[in-house]
């Protein structure tokens, strides 16, 4: 196997699909933006191995992210721990490829709806929520040790209807990062 460490920054835009996100908050301001940082550890097969040729650069690992969202006083500052998997879709040149990745895990650090202490938050009903993400990105090999990545992601947080309310949070992010190949 080959191992890699990655760090990503993901500024994003929140889809305002419910009154709370549209501005029915204590401040009266809409909740539009989020920003996250991700630290990731992955493993993959050796580049010239038979398995790598079959599965086109597949990799998997574990990630940890921290989110800053507009109006943290009413939403919180979630942290997500997740598993991820990705692979190459197409090699565009010897050093540039188009890739995909999915993330699935658990997020904590939310300030959920509470009739007395957080009545405006009609979006998140629980302190723990699922974290789901799909992304497509370009990977530029800079050297044998470093890769540069940039792309777009779709993110969803939800409690899966285990507690009311469950409007969830949906966002589209830009993704930029560096991968260090150990």
3-state secondary structure of 54: helix
Q: List the beta bridge partners of residue 176.
A: 9, 150
DSSP 8-state code for residue 26: S
The structure tokens listed for 107 are 């997020």
DSSP 8-state code for residue 118: B
Please tell me the predicted confidence (pLDDT) of residue 55: 83
What predicted TM-score, i.e. pTM, was given to this entire model?
Answer: 0.93
pLDDT tier, 118 (very low <50, low <70, confident <90, very high otherwise) = very high
Q: What's the average model confidence in pLDDT over 71-86?
A: 96
Which of 54-58, 83-87, 110-114, 118-122 is predicted with the least confidence, judged by mean pLDDT? Answer: 54-58
């Amino acid at each position: 196997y080959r191992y890699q460490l990655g760090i990503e920054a993901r500024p994003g835009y929140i889809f305002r699909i419910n009154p709370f996100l549209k501005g029915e908050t204590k401040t009266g301001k809409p909740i539009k933006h989020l920003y996250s940082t991700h630290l990731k550890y992955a493993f993959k097969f050796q580049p010239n191995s038979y398995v790598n040729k079959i599965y086109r650069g597949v990799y998997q690992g574990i990630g940890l992210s921290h989110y800053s969202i507009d109006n943290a006083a009413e939403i919180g500052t979630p942290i997500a721990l997740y598993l991820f998997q990705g692979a190459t879709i197409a090699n565009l040149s010897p050093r540039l490829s188009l890739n995909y990745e999915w993330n699935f895990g658990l997020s904590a650090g939310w300030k959920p709806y509470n009739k007395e202490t957080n009545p405006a938050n009609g979006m998140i009903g629980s302190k723990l929520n699922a974290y789901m993400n799909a992304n497509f990105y370009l990977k530029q090999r800079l050297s044998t040790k470093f890769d540069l990545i940039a792309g777009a992601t779709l993110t969803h947080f939800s409690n899966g209807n285990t507690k009311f309310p469950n409007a969830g949070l949906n966002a589209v992010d830009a993704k930029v990062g560096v991968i260090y190949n150990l």
